[in-house]
Structure 1
Amino acid sequence: MALEWVVLGYAAGAEAVMLLLLTIPGLDALRKGLITVTRNLLKPFMSIVPFCLFLLMDIYWKYENRPTCESDSCSPSEHLRHQKSIMKSQRNALLIASALIFYWLLYSVTSLVVRVEQLNNRIEKLRNQD
């Protein structure tokens, strides 16, 4: 199971880096190639959505089937293990949320940058006609 979380973490990191490079001002020469790369990667990154839903169901299943640890019925080591399990589930849920948000932001920013580029080309074309 750890490999799935590593893959999701790397995918979220790649999305964050691409989002950062698209939104940094002053990279106009690099932006045109980066837009092409990002638009080509949006479809493969779409597989993150069902992957995140699968991992979210895994967290829910583990939460529902987790043995309860009440105050008098468990030893300190069992209580610690129970708390670590809860913390790990919360961390993984945060990773899922960040991967989905980064994908949505990357999709939105890419479409906005493409739209701005198209509008700039139309303005330039209209100026050349006059």
Structure 2
Amino acid sequence: MALQWLILEYVVASEVALVLLLTLPWPNPIISQIVSLTSKLLQPLSSLIPFAVFNLLDLYWKSEHRLTCTSDVCTQEERIRYERSLFKAQRNVILCVSVCLLYWFTYKICKYHKEIKELEAVEKRAKNL
């Protein structure tokens, strides 16, 4: 179980790095290379969205069927274990949601850069006429 969360952590870190690379003010030739490389990476990264959604649904199912430890019958160790499992579940929900959001941010930034490049080409052709 820990391997899937480790994978999602690495994916989130790489998506954050991609978004940072795309939003930094680079010269036009460099940003066009970064956008083209990122656009090529977007299709393989899209397979992570169903993976994150599946893990999110799994977390929801587990939270609905989790044994609660709120009565006086529970020992201190059981309460601590219950609270830790809640914290881990919350962290994992944040990971799943951030994978989806960062993918969307990366897609939109690449799309905007391509649209800007197309508009600049149209403007250049209009000036040359």
Matched, 1:123 2:123: yes
Where does residue 93 of structure 1 map in the other structure? Answer: 93
Matched, 1:38 2:38: yes
The one-letter code of the counterpart of 2:13 is G
Q: How large is the RMSD of aligned CA atoms in angstroms?
A: 1.2
| SS, match of residue 68 in structure 1 | coil
The one-letter code of the counterpart of 1:34 is I
Q: How many residues align?
A: 129
Displacement, 1:11?
Answer: 1.2
Where does residue 57 of structure 2 map in the other structure? Answer: 57
The one-letter code of the counterpart of 2:65 is N
Where does residue 66 of structure 1 map in the other structure? Answer: 66
Distance 1:14 1:78 in 2: 36
Q: Which runs of 5+ in 1 are unaligned?
A: none
Where does residue 102 of structure 2 map in the other structure? Answer: 102
| SS, match of residue 69 in structure 1 | coil
Identity %: 36
Distance 1:102 1:27 in 2: 24
Q: Which runs of 5+ in 2 are unaligned?
A: none
Q: Provide TM-score, normalisation by structure 1.
A: 0.93
Displacement, 1:126?
Answer: 1.7
Deviates more, 1:31-40 or 1:58-67: 58-67
Displacement, 1:26?
Answer: 3.0
Q: Provide TM-score, normalisation by structure 2.
A: 0.94
Kindly report which structure 2 residues correspond to 1:8-47, keeping only aligned pairs within 5 A, or say none. 8-47=8-47
Following TM superposition, the consecutive aligned residue runs of length 4 or more in structure 1 with deviations greater than 2 angstroms are 26-29
Displacement, 1:51?
Answer: 0.5
